[in-house]
Amino acid sequence: MLITITVVSILIITGLTWVANKILPVQVCPICSGVFVTWAGLLAAHFLGYEITLIIPALLMGGSVVGIAYQMEKMLAGSSQQSRLLLKILFIPAGFVAAYGILAELWAAAFLALAFLVLVSFLFLSSRVKPREGTVAEIEQKMKDCC
């Protein structure tokens, strides 16, 4: 029964996010929001005393960790393959530790893993290769001047 509620929740939230993306200026991945809001809601219900099998939120949290790592890897498209691999090697296991810490209510472990994730994210995303400003305009101007 919980898996049915979970799937329906993901589909409804995904649909609502898709509609919201048509209206709002900020775009959010619909399926990512559906999965995140669903596992956050299941955890909230668990912490409020409802009997929730933690296997389902654990699966969804794992998917979120991998999805976040994938999105971060896309942001590092100009970086070396080794750099992108290192990001995933550091991020994914730490994300699993953070998820486990939350599920097991080991708050110190969860906090340390989350702090590590923030640090890794900051280090990788702040050092990503950024295109120089004006490059496209310079090329366009050179093409106009050429002929």
Tell me how far apart the alpha carbons of residues 61 and 39 are, in angstroms, rounded to a whole number: 7
Domain that holds residue 31: 1-53
Mean pLDDT of 40-57: 96
Residue 135: inside a domain: no
Please tell me whether residues 87 and 65 are part of one structural domain: yes
Please tell me whether residues 119 and 95 are part of one structural domain: yes
Tell me how far apart the alpha carbons of residues 126 and 34 are, in angstroms, rounded to a whole number: 28
Please tell me whether residues 60 and 124 are part of one structural domain: yes
Under 8 Å CB-to-CB from 20, ≥6 apart: which residues? Answer: 28
Residue 87: inside a domain: yes
Q: Binning pLDDT at 50, 70 and 90, where does residue 78 land?
A: confident
Q: Please, where are the H alpha helices in the chain?
A: 2-23, 30-47, 55-75, 81-103, 107-126, 135-146
Q: What is the pLDDT of residues 107-130, one digit of tens each?
A: 999 999 999 999 999 999 987 655
Please tell me whether residues 33 and 71 are part of one structural domain: no
Residue 36: inside a domain: yes
How many separate domains does the chain show? 2
Neighbours of 7 (CB within 10 A): 13
Please tell me whether residues 83 and 64 are part of one structural domain: yes
**Half-sphere exposure (Cβ direction) of 11: Cα atoms closer than 13 Å:** 6
Please tell me whether residues 14 and 64 are part of one structural domain: no
